[in-house]
A and B are shown apart, each in its own frame.
Chain A
């Protein structure tokens, strides 16, 4: 079978390209919302953790956060996805997309939390003392002095985490979500030819990741330029 014939069979017959296109939309949608949840959750956990580390307050919350981090970072995302789908929402009627967004968001939150906590702790304690010595309270010091600096140092790492998450969503197919990877699998299961569906799925991921990496690089250079002024 020549390539043209194969392309026709894999993408054009029965509008099979739609599996990839719809799958891509699903993948992007899940990724975007999961990133948002991950950021919100991650910042919350990072602030609780660093507050505990700096002041010794929030002991119980910190303990809960530590469990969350240990469990999420100590188990594979596929297992978390399956648990979210079959156990946590086992008897709840909830859209699978939402399940995936929650599962990936909660997963990402743990990694974001550690990145942000690292960023906060990397800011010299003198900055914190300077703020407090002026009479600012803990929250004001955090919000206006520590966080703006920490955020700048962790932005590239956060962008990277989003890229990782995009690739991780490829296991969404385990709960029968037709994401990009599953789209390729569906074509494969109908045409029995692994080459084109898999290669095109890989290429689509690659193009998106390269694009995002390019943006991250640009961002990093801009931040570096800011530092030099």
Chain B
């Protein structure tokens, strides 16, 4: 579904990604872990062209998306949902408007359809009574659940999660991970950058370890955690899992 070949990204003269190659199948749940500064966030942000790659190709459903015009890029982004570390809900809109805005504006749904879809999604993320609240009135966990609902409203084919629980208070991490697990069970293709090893172990179909702009190891969670090959990964795991 997504094919990444020789992906490089530099900011100024600093190279963050140094040639990433990987392939993501439909329905896979990829979890990307690694120390901070390893380039994992930049990697996931390249997948929907939030960052424009410096070199290499990303193919989505057989289409090379690295050389598209901006109109086509917008279209690709409609098919890929993204969830951010800091939620990035629109503070001037109600929860419901946050969810319905994009599908209605892009002409994918009528107002009524979008509204029905929003109710359905709010039910699914467990916040049916918050439709008319503003983001300021929600807790961090609730905000992230609304952000997930907002992405899902576009009926994406793949969901990208960029450290979705890193900005949350510890007691709210669970509710967001729970929701993500449900999504995974429903068969959504997911790429998740996270520090939650438990989530990786439980949900991932494949785990990638990134360091210094390279993928150093990728494996099934069982092998990945039980039998790490790369020395960097061994050091990393010994520090994270104490």
Contact = CB atoms under 8 A, between A and B. Distances in A.
Contact of A127 (B82, B88, B150): B88
A131 B84 CA distance: 12
Nearest to A148: B92
A166 B88 CA distance: 39
B88 A134 contact: no
Contacts of A144: 101, 105
B92 A132 contact: no
B84 A137 contact: no
A119 to B, nearest CB: 13
A170 interface: no
B2 interface: no
Interface string B106-137: 10000000000000000000000000001011
Most chain A CB within a 10 A radius of its CB, from B81, B105, B150, B151: B105
A34 B64 CA distance: 51
Contacts of A132: 50, 74, 77
A134 B150 contact: yes
Contacts of B88: 124, 126-127, 129-130
Contacts of A229: 134, 136-137
A130 B92 CA distance: 14
Contacts of A214: none
Contacts of A134: 77-78, 101-102, 150-151, 154
Contacts of A218: none
A145 interface: yes
A136 B106 contact: yes
B48 A133 contact: yes
B91 interface: yes
A59 interface: no
Nearest to A136: B102
Nearest to B134: A229
A145 B101 CA distance: 10
Contacts of A189: none
Given A130-B84, A152-B92, A140 B105 contact: yes
Contacts of A152: 92
Interface in A127-157: 127, 129-138, 140, 144-145, 148-149, 152
Contacts of A148: 92
A227 interface: yes
Nearest to B137: A229
Given A144-B101, A152-B92, A133 B136 contact: no
Interface string B68-90: 00110011011011101010111
Given A134-B151, A135-B77, 6 more contacts: A127-B90, A130-B82, A133-B82, A135-B75, A136-B105, A137-B70
Interface of A: 124, 126-127, 129-138, 140, 144-145, 148-149, 152, 227-229
21 contacts: A124-B86, A126-B86, A126-B88, A127-B88, A129-B82, A129-B84, A129-B88, A131-B90, A133-B80, A133-B82, A133-B151, A134-B151, A135-B74, A135-B77, A135-B106, A135-B154, A136-B74, A136-B106, A140-B105, A228-B136, A229-B134
